[in-house]
Structure 1
Amino acid sequence: MAPLLQETTFVVVDLETTGASPKKGAAITEIGAVKVKGGEVIGEFKTFVNPLAPIPDYITEMTGITDLMLAHAPVIDEVFPTFLEFVGSHNESVLVAHNAPFDLSFLKSAAKELDYPWPKYKSIDTVTVARQVLTKEDVPDCKLGTLAQFFGTKTEPNHRALDDAKATVEVLHGLLERLGSLDITTLEALLDFAKTAAHIQRQNYWGMRST
């Protein structure tokens, strides 16, 4: 029997980085994660990460994270195994992020660099789900700040990893409530919905590009 969403352990993660892509040399500077089950927070993870490179000025302006703040922070080699331990087994935990492809690209890149096998985590992108669940009448866009305002989250997103992860938790719960009215109550149904939503959005994107 498929596990119910209320029985599923979600690990909501957010990263701050030195740039847009690990393929272009950008690195993780901060990891925040919140583990939730049945609507309750059961654990939090927060750490700076020394990227061993200067932080671009525009990143410092956006996040408030400076080179000085990271000078004595652990490097990713020290942080990564602890993070994976926090997340737990891929059979038990589902990773959630707002714009998940971004966060997952950095985590998978770190795993590859450190020669860690990447666990086969199931993942949910709250952007993809929100675009399918909410209408333009609800929200003008699906940025985290917009969704946080729409759902009235207690934590305001501020481009810092743990606060953004906490806000994403509340957005996730708001989206799950909406999905409940569509009779999506199991993890399997949620993953199917998210997969279909991503496919529809890709089709729409390429349809718009071709017109």
Structure 2
Amino acid sequence: MGMKSQASSKLAEVTFIVLDLETTGASPTTGSAITEIGAIAIRGGQVLGEFSTFVNPEMLLPEYIINLTGITDEMLIDAPSIKEVLPEFMEFIAQHQNVHLVAHNAPFDLGFLKAAANQISYSWPKYEVIDTVKLARRVIDRSEVMNYKLGTLSKFFNTQALPNHRALDDVKTTVEVLHRLIERLAGHQVFTAAELKKFMR
């Protein structure tokens, strides 16, 4: 599908790859690494596929990360390295057409993925990216919610999935939040990928 047809695609025709990472810390620039990747591909409300794996960060986890995520060093010791995982994850994304990547606080996740790609001398492809934090700020007034954290939006929309700092569970929550945010876009006359891109500027 070419760029022109991609941009004019109705949102129901777009493949959203909703993703979430768990990591050893706040930033790849300070030596933090990915410990878990979760992703779900959806189009028109239908699930097209799932991706979920632990990643061995090749370092010990800080105590606060163990407490936050419930992920332990023992759970990661036999997990594949990012060198093994990232090509598989990139293939999972590439098998779909008309892709938009979606994440809650997308700069965090994309920062780690791009750093990991660079680390193994891969070129991270250019994708349209939707940050559900940014989108929520555009369509939900601050009088309706205290903040735009995933847990807050999960309660606001009464999602079935609940965020718990595990990658795939957080992705499932983000999928539900995304669908509810897209419902609100109609009130802003946003119906296509191009209109969404313009709306998010």
User: TM-score with structure 2 length normalisation?
Assistant: 0.95
Aligned to 1:172: 178
Does residue 108 in structure 1 map to residue 108 in structure 2? no
Q: Show structure 2 runs of 5+ residues with no match.
A: none
Output the aligned Cα RMSD.
1.1
Q: 1:130 aligns with which of 118, 129, 136?
A: 136
1:119 aligns with 2:125: yes
Once residues 156 and 171 of structure 2 are traced to their aligned partners in structure 1, the CA distance between those partners, rounded to angstroms, is 16
**What is the CA–CA distance in structure 2 between the aligned matches of 1:37 and 1:23, rounded to whole Å?**
34
User: Does structure 1 residue 140 correspond to structure 2 residue 113?
Assistant: no
**1:90–1:121: 8 Å Cα contact kept in structure 2?**
no
Whether contact under 8 Å (1:89, 1:119) holds in the other structure is no
Q: Distance in 1 between matches of 2:186 and 2:135?
A: 13
- Kindly provide the amino acid, as one letter, of the partner of residue 81 in structure 2: V
| Aligned-partner Cα distance in 2 for 1:89–1:124 | 19
How far apart, CA to CA, are the structure 2 residues paired with 1:135 and 1:17? Answer: 31
Partner of 1:16: 22
Amino acid at match of 1:82: E
Change (3 A) 1:89 1:190: farther
Give identity over the alignment, percent.
57
Matches within 5 A, 1:184-195: 184-194=190-200
Provide, for residues 108-165 of structure 1, a one-character-per-residue CA deviation record: whole Å limited to 9, x for no partner. 0011111111111110000001011111221110000000111111100000000001
> Structure 2: how far apart are the matches of 1:64 and 1:37?
31
The Cα of 1:51 is off from its aligned counterpart by 0.1
For structure 1, the 5+ residue unaligned runs are: 197-211
Query: Aligned to 1:88, which of 75, 87, 94?
Result: 94
C-alpha distance in structure 1 between counterparts of 2:183 and 2:66, whole Å: 36
Match of 2:75 in 1: 69
**Alignment partners' CA distance in 2, 1:66 and 1:182:** 44
SS of residue in 2 equivalent to 1:181: helix
Secondary structure at 1:177 match in 2: helix
What is the one-letter code of the residue matched to 2:70?
G
* d(CA) in 2 for partners of 1:91, 1:119: 13
Report the AA paired with residue 85 of structure 1. Answer: E
Please list the CA deviations of residues 57-115 of structure 1 after superposition, one character each: whole Å capped at 9, or x if unmatched. 00000000000000100000110011011112686211000000000000000111111
Corresponding residue for 1:203?
none
Instruction: Measure the CA separation in 1 of the matches of 2:121 and 2:98.
Output: 23
SS where residue 191 of structure 2 aligns? coil
Q: TM-score, normalised by structure 1?
A: 0.90
